Amino acid sequence: MKKGFITFILLGLLLILSVPVFAGSAHPEEKQPLVQHLTQAEFIEKVFDYKKDSSLKYLGDRPAIVDFYADWCVPCQRLSPILEDLAQEYEGQIVIYKINTDKERALAGDFGITALPTMLFIPMEGDPQIQKGSMPKNNLKKLIENILLK
């Protein structure tokens, strides 16, 4: 009797724990991450096709921040959760991209990235602006409001 009861409880727990897995698999389309990591090919497709057009015509439908970073860079590591917070706070208004300069050396070289982190602020109209170095969240919010959402 006792062994059957424990088996019943364990099966019940297994069923409860498996429900989210089965429920999640019913929806094959996944939500795009708020901060998107890009390769050079994706950058050319979504941000600037700088190989074909030297005018840097922005290809996106929302203002963007492109964060050039490296995993070993301590200021980059501190900036990353701030960018995640800002992506959530400004969801639907801006898009935030990240480029790993160790993996995308050619792209970083093409844009003259010599300091990390380096952020490229791309408004819908007007010229992109570069900001080198990490900064507090409130300063980034000011740049978003003044450059990207003006």
Which residues are annotated as catalytic?
73, 76
Q: Are 134 and 69 in contact (CB under 8 A)?
A: no
DSSP annotation of 29: P
DSSP alpha helices (H): ranges in the chain?
Answer: 2-25, 40-46, 74-89, 105-110, 137-143
CA atoms of 14 and 111, how far apart (whole Å) = 52
